[in-house]
Amino acid sequence: MTVTMGDVSCGACGSPLQEALNTPVDERVPCPNCGSTNRRFHVEVIEKITMRTSLGHKLKRPGISRPIAEGFNGWEQRKSVGDQVRKVRLIDRENDRYIERVETEQGEVIHETDHPLSEHRGHGSAKKLVPPDNEESES
């Protein structure tokens, strides 16, 4: 955020005044034009806002329970680091394709894959859970 200290003018007649923005009310010098101690302050605040959008889609056909294609294009938070990454994903069941590209805000490609969907196993929620070590207690 950038704050630009601005101008002080008379609150009654609008004449520009040579007075600090933080001058206490009881120390203000009356306006030379009208005698008022009311003030109007002009301060400019500049803030940069970044907006990001995401779009997900599913293509369904009557009588088929799972979508024949689904995809995602947009920004999401990377769980491992916490920064924002751009992700483009297409799951095309009809044509047996899985395409995904993940890149940082600076454009560095973190992950890219394009292969048959039938070969896409053991990723994301399909990862096999490793059972905890079974420690046997001695009796």
Q: What residue spans define the domains of the chain?
A: 2-46, 54-126
User: Which strands make up the sheet holding 109-115, listed edge to edge?
Assistant: 54-59, 69-77, 84-92, 97-104, 109-115
Q: How far apart are the first and last CA of the chain?
A: 66
Neighbours of 16 (CB within 10 A): 11
Q: What is the pLDDT of residue 126?
A: 62
What mean pLDDT is reported for the chain? 87
* Minimum mean pLDDT range among 2-6, 89-93, 100-104: 2-6
Higher-pLDDT residue of 130 and 3 is 3
The mean pLDDT value for 38-50 works out to 89
pLDDT band at 129, cuts 50/70/90?
A: low
CATH architecture of 2-46: Single Sheet (2.20)
Q: How far apart are CA 65 and CA 42, in angstroms?
A: 62
pTM over 0.75: no
